[in-house]
Amino acid sequence: MDRKQYDSAGARQSRYTPEFGRLILQNMAAPKISEVIPAEELLAVHRVYITGCGDSYLAGLSALPAFQALSGVKCTAVKATDFARHLPAEKIEGALVIGISISGTVSRVAECLQRAVKHGGVALAISDNPESPVASSANYVLPLGMPQLEPAPGVCSYVASTLALFCLAHHIGRVGGANNLTHEQFNACITAHLDQAAAALPAMEETCFAAAQELQNCRAFDFVSDGESRSTAVFGQAKMVEFFGGLVTGDDCEDWCHINYFTEEPSTLGTFITIFADSPSLSRTKELVQCAVNIGRKVYVITDCAPGTFAEGAHIIALPTPAHTWVRPIVSHLPYDFIGAFISELKGAPPFRAYEGAVWHTPEGSSHIRDSEIVVL
């Protein structure tokens, strides 16, 4: 089967990721990032909340290791509804609240930023639309400056949001004296991994196309992950739904053994396991992989572990290993992007079900994402 016949906007965005990442990094250059928010505001910040919906929330989750390594400030990723409607107001005062929305039109993210301002936080919007409702809800705005992309489930947008958060983490740490990486050294950490990704992409894409052919008729997909790999796995879940409407579940490796192990017709289930070589859960994950293979699951392990680490019968999709582990999230999602895009084309299932161009179809009378009522508590 000729892979080129099943190319798509999603696959092209995945292929474009290394070049796109370098472009966004240039957009976030030191003068720009330092001009977004005054240093005295950052020095007064005692904690950071990152919030958003969908891919934007997952970008926040992906950036937590970078904040831990670089910023010197406690950071938490919170889903937009949890921040807007459930987080105690007294926890907001004095915090930097980063709300992410590429379009700038997501009501819940605007609500989060308005709530942050109301309760004495510093609200920063990350968006590709600096004139949007989300941007106007914040004290400060970090525009991404993304180039025009073909409409597709978000791949490059996720990379842009994650890189912007990396840059913020580094800048906050520099201002507060928590890290001594120069801007040049910081950029080199990221571009080195993007270069690794560019070199790995041809083989990765071929492996993912073969995986898509085997998995296209699965009735559902399990995603298993622990610790820092979770954001990548949940992003993978999202892409399988967005690209072709797949039915997905997700769990950690221990609870999978207690629950999803018992799902009927195991040979009809795709099982994705995301695990990094330095994970404390590696030994348990190796047991899980053997177990899943033994019961007849279609098992794919997305990993930077050495060949031969996992049971025979599991398919391995190799990830490059970065010099700095906090950089991993800008590359580790790519196998899921390719597989989702290829299954969409193989099945003839268009992304987002009734998706056409850049428009999401919402049934008349439904309140969806952009017109949901804003309630500032």
Question: Could you report the per-residue pLDDT of 322-345, keeping only the tens digit for each?
Answer: 999 999 999 999 999 999 999 999
Can you give the C-alpha Rg of the chain in angstroms?
20
pLDDT at residue number 360: 53
pTM to 2 decimal places = 0.94
Region of residue 318 (left: phi > 0; alpha: psi -120 to 50; beta: else): beta
Distance, in Å, from the CA atom of 145 to the CA atom of 305, rounded to the nearest integer, reads 35
Report pLDDT for 362: 59
Which residue from 49, 57, 36 is spatially nearest to 102, judged by alpha carbons? 57
**CA angle, 176 as apex, 121 and 23 as ends, to 5°?**
85
**Tell me, what's the pLDDT at 259?**
95
Which CATH number does 3-191 carry? 3.40.50.10490
> What are the domain boundaries of the chain?
3-191, 196-347
The pLDDT of residue 361: 58
Which pLDDT belongs to residue 204? 97
Name the token pair of 188: 């080199």
| pLDDT for the residue numbered 365 | 58
Report the amino acid identity of residue 281.
Answer: S
Same fold, 3-191 and 196-347: yes
Q: Residue 364: what pLDDT?
A: 62
> In sequence order, which ranges of the chain are alpha helices (DSSP H)?
9-27, 30-36, 39-44, 55-70, 80-85, 107-118, 133-136, 156-176, 183-215, 230-244, 253-258, 282-294, 334-347
DSSP SS3 for 125: strand
**Residues in the chain where the model's pLDDT stays below 70:** 354-367
Provide the 8-state DSSP code for 118.
H
Q: Which CATH number fits domain 196-347: 3.40.50.920, 3.20.20.190, 3.40.50.150, 3.40.50.10490?
A: 3.40.50.10490
Distance CA 26, CA 28 (A): 5
